[in-house]
Amino acid sequence: MSAVSEETREALAGISAGRVDALAEPLGAGSLDERTVALVKIAALIALDAPPASYAWQVASAVEAGVSGDDILGVLLAVVPQVGGPRTVAAGAEIMLALGLSLPESFE
């Protein structure tokens, strides 16, 4: 079992109990750096099959936080087993556009 701080335990308990206010409670300074948070958000967009505007905004934010295209590709490839091929392909196109890249001719 992993060591969990009391603050983390209380936050998880509040969230699992459905206390919406627990979602807004910051965990001190947070344990994830800005780059990691940006990558996690991109992974969530992929999992949710998010609309194009979501990718445009989040990828720009991630790049601003120091995330590279290689990092984003790593996230895309890491989530394939969880989200499946079709969702990954759809997200790949949206990520390309958000990075300012042209889609392959076969896509158009």
DSSP letters for the chain? -----HHHHHHHHHHHTT-GGGGT---TT-SS-HHHHHHHHHHHHHHHT--HHHHHHHHHHHHHTT--HHHHHHHHHHTHHHH-HHHHHHHHHHHHHHTTPPPPTTT-
pLDDT score at 26: 60
**pTM of the model as a whole:** 0.82
Along the 108 residues of the chain, how does pLDDT read in single tens digits? 778 888 888 888 888 998 888 777 665 446 788 999 999 999 999 999 999 999 999 999 999 999 999 999 999 999 999 999 999 999 999 999 999 999 988 765
